[in-house]
Chain A
Amino acid sequence: MLRYSVKRLLQGLVTVFFIATATFFAMHSVPGDPLASDKALTDRIRANLEAKYGLDQPLMTQYGIFLGNLLQGDFGISYTQENRRVNDIIREHFPVSATLGILAIAFAGLGGVLWGALTALYRNRLPDVLIMLAVILGISVPSFVFAALGQLLLVQVNGALGFSVLPVAGWGTVAHMLVPSLVLGLGTMAYLTRLMRSSMLEIVGSDFVRTAKSKGLPASRIFTHHQLRNAILPVVTVLGPAIAAITTGGFVVEMVFAIPGLGRYFVQAVQQLDYTVIMGTTVFYGAFLVFMVIVVDLLYGWIDPRVRLE
């Protein structure tokens, strides 16, 4: 187990290194000038800015400097927010995205298991049909539509009641988080519901469930210990990437609900060719994704003893 963990972590480091390298060279080959602005720069000012960000060095030297700083955990200074270090941007804004993401994952994971089990139990009956209809909507409608609709609904409800039930946008209390995280988790919840349903159905007809029944085990115990626990495995598998996708993919939701998360900086940095922020956020998110996948793999072994971690 320990050897396996160490091995996976080392592999993860190599993966992050490749992510960093690929992003670095891809970013520098994107057409456009990171220093370009509305006002034309004089040669002297341009030269000073290039020196400040090391752009006057050959690309391979820049890459070397970048790797050196990366080893020290320093991503440098942002191009657009000239007085802020990229590390500070990540440190200040990632907790916001993470909070939103954790709540969204909680909604998605728990809701997905619940609805999935329910549809399996009531297969081909009304609850199943209704929930599966909602699932199709949840999977096919993009989150920005849900975000806009959710906000509009809040405005209408607040307006109709004459007081603020939940804030329309902003950040700071759990009331601010409720709707955005639900919206953010909706797609994943729908996906997990479908996954859970088919996995449950598969297991209902399996040998061990029949054996358990014939042994005369109480139905409730069969359900929790034999069906749910086995059916939940595929859900756990996709949870790792889903956590990463949700914490990194909150850009639109963050925009609509005016949430100061890292997703905004992630996307805007690419639009503005803010080299240091692009590298910082990509490497950070890359490492995060790799780490989550490892964690899920380790969890897997704990949930299902049949899986041997070697």
Chain B
Amino acid sequence: MAETSNLAGEAAFNRSAARQLALFGLAVLIGLVALMWGLNLLASLTATASGASPAVDAANNAITVMLAEEPPQLDSTRSTDQVSGVVLGHVMEGLLRYDDRGELAPGMAEDWRIDEAGATFHLRADALWSDGQPVTAHDFVFAWRQGLDPENASEYAFILYPIKNAEAVNQGRLPVTELGARAVDERTLAVEFERPIAFFDKLTAFSTYFPVREEFYRATEGRFGADADQLLYNGPFKLSSWVHGQSLQLDRNPHYWDQARIRLDRINVAYITSDPNTRLNLFKDEKIVMTGLTAENLTNALEQRWHIHRHMDGSIFYLEFNHRSGRLTRNHNLRKAMILAQDPGELVYKVTKTPGYLPGESLFPRFLEGIRGKFRDQHPAPTYRMDVQAARDHLERARLELGLDAFPPLVLLSSDSPVSNIQTEYFQAVFKKNLGLDIKIDRQIFKQRLAKMTSGDFDLVLAGWGPDYNDPLTYGDLFASWNLNNRGRYSNPEYDRQVRIAQSAMDAPTRMAAFAEMQRIIHEDVVIIPNYERGVAYVTHPRVKGILRRVVGADTDYTYAWIE
């Protein structure tokens, strides 16, 4: 009896306690709502909301996009990265620009004349800054001096080197005033060349060549390009707001000269994240107009029956040998054995399986123009076919030449990205299987990989290169003996001679012949093992047309996009 009553008491207690708990839960809920209301108020004070606008906002003639990263800064004289390049490409304009068909077109300059000694640019009368003042020749001279001033420590200073005295200025041997660029008058810019250059017009579209107004630059006191109001704009759009890490708003620049070509009124960058799945989800939710696809989410995209586009972004990837003396990889037969023992096709189609990639064949990617047609069509790249027997013969010769009993393990330096992990494992496997060579993988974070590449602490390294300007020389001079980016220190007087020809010859046939010769030397000397040319698969919103992908300049470019 006592026991049952106890149980009944327990049940009553539980009921009562549960009621208390429910009351407590209600209080919790009310508290949470109050807290969120407070936070909402707080947030609305500190930042603008993102994601309020849909991908396509036809009423306001606006689109919403995302960026993978926050632009580190928007000082065109010092910017180096792709994300800053995208933003700068929309809000700034150089003397020339790339138009909606990817052709070089007049920008701030309405006409120009380039010869062996130099160039003259005439600025258009309606070239204006976003505050309504004219863009003058002085603005270009100041920007270029700034880009070269060693105090400014611009990493892209080298791209200005074709200008007379630029390299000397950059190394502190001459004052910036000695730079061979001067404003003849407000609207005439005269440039002297260090040596003849055939592609200076293309360089003027590059961001380091963009103008900067001196008086404005000085007024920012070292914060130029750090915020939306710390920058002047002369491009199709201007930056109206920039909430770091969160959003940027680009509005049509009413002072831009070529209004007729610009059809959008606003581009919202509402999201900044490098997570590819987030991008895909935002695209599915109709919050952004474009997203790239990775191998993992490609199938997902296929299930949606989206129209998938492909774009070769001009980046090439390869195994670079260390050619420094004392390294085994300096031996030609060893390098030849290794290139014969692998197959880029196998790597791309069976191993990495990344959508859009093409097997690497040459230092010069397929997009490059030759003379009336693609360079690679006119000068097909010589390639090796995988041949294990021949590879072993070369390895044996290398062993005898080097006087070794057996090969010690070779160090393969790589970064720690998922794609390079797969790649290194592929090479480790094929070199072991086909040549019996042991490969020691040295996986490092980005900065440490670069440090080791520079100091030469590797036998092989997984490397890559993207173009700075639309000319084969941006790839070709990579293996010139004086190039600091030639981290394997390949050195060949004949190759250097061809680079010099390509640098200073003015006629296309001579230059293309020089590039073809470089391609042949790289192949025969086995300077590198080409892996792949990078391509990207992407999807766009069906109502937005005219989104451009570019190999050089802003990629992706929404400048000429419109809503249908």
Contact = CB atoms under 8 A, between A and B. Distances in A.
Contacts of A218: 16
A121 interface: yes
A106 B31 contact: yes
Contacts of B451: 31-33, 36
B422 interface: no
B19 interface: yes
Contacts of A258: 50, 66, 246, 271-273, 275, 278, 282
B49 interface: yes
Nearest to B29: A110
B272 A260 contact: yes
Given A36-B450, A42-B171, A80-B72, A99 B226 contact: no
Interface in A161-199: 164, 167-174, 176-178
A122 B18 CA distance: 9
A219 B12 contact: yes
A223 B17 contact: yes
Interface string A208-241: 0000000000111011100110000000000000
Contacts of B454: 33, 36, 40
B245 A264 contact: yes
Interface in B149-185: 150-151, 153-158, 170-172
A107 B35 CA distance: 11
B359 interface: no
A114 B24 contact: yes
A260 B245 contact: yes
B32 A110 contact: yes
Contacts of B287: 167-170
A6 to B, nearest CB: 31
Contacts of B222: 83
Nearest to A49: B153
Interface string A66-106: 00000000000000111110000100110110010011001
A45 B226 contact: no
Given A38-B450, A169-B271, A219 B485 contact: no
A271 interface: yes
Contacts of B446: 271-272
Interface majority SS on A: helix, strand, loop or mixed? helix
Given A37-B155, A121-B14, A169-B278, A82 B78 contact: yes
B481 to A, nearest CB: 14
A273 interface: yes
A278 interface: no
Contacts of B51: 167-172, 176
Interface stretch (B40-48, B196-204, B367-375): B40-48
Given A93-B244, A114-B25, A148 B277 contact: yes
A306 interface: no
Given A32-B448, A158-B285, A219-B12, A171 B50 contact: yes
Interface in B238-284: 243-246, 270-275, 277-278, 281-282, 284
Interface in B5-36: 12-14, 16-21, 24-25, 28, 31-32, 35-36
Contacts of B487: 40
B484 interface: yes
A221 B465 CA distance: 72
Given A106-B31, A155-B285, A159-B285, A39 B80 contact: yes
B interface bracket (residues with beta carbon within 8 Å of A): 35 or more
Nearest to B273: A258
Contacts of A272: 446-447
A interface bracket (residues with beta carbon within 8 Å of B): 35 or more
B351 interface: no
A48 B151 contact: yes
A204 to B, nearest CB: 10
A256 B277 contact: yes
B420 interface: no
A44 interface: yes
B43 A172 contact: yes
A110 B243 contact: no
A81 B244 CA distance: 11
Contacts of A92: 244-245
A167 to B, nearest CB: 4
Contacts of B52: 172-173
Nearest to A99: B39
Contacts of A121: 14, 17-18, 21
6 contacts: A80-B72, A99-B42, A164-B285, A169-B282, A178-B36, A257-B278
Given A168-B281, A170-B270, A271-B445, 7 more contacts: A33-B454, A45-B150, A83-B224, A84-B226, A121-B17, A167-B51, A169-B271
Interface of B: 12-14, 16-21, 24-25, 28, 31-32, 35-37, 39-40, 42-44, 46-52, 66, 70, 72-73, 75, 78, 80, 150-151, 153-158, 170-172, 222-226, 230, 243-246, 270-275, 277-278, 281-282, 284-285, 287, 444-448, 450-451, 454, 483-485, 487
Interface of A: 31-34, 36-42, 44-45, 48-49, 52, 80-84, 89, 92-93, 95-96, 99, 102-103, 106-107, 110-111, 113-114, 117-118, 121-122, 148, 151-152, 154-155, 158-159, 164, 167-174, 176-178, 218-220, 222-224, 227-228, 255-261, 264-265, 271-273
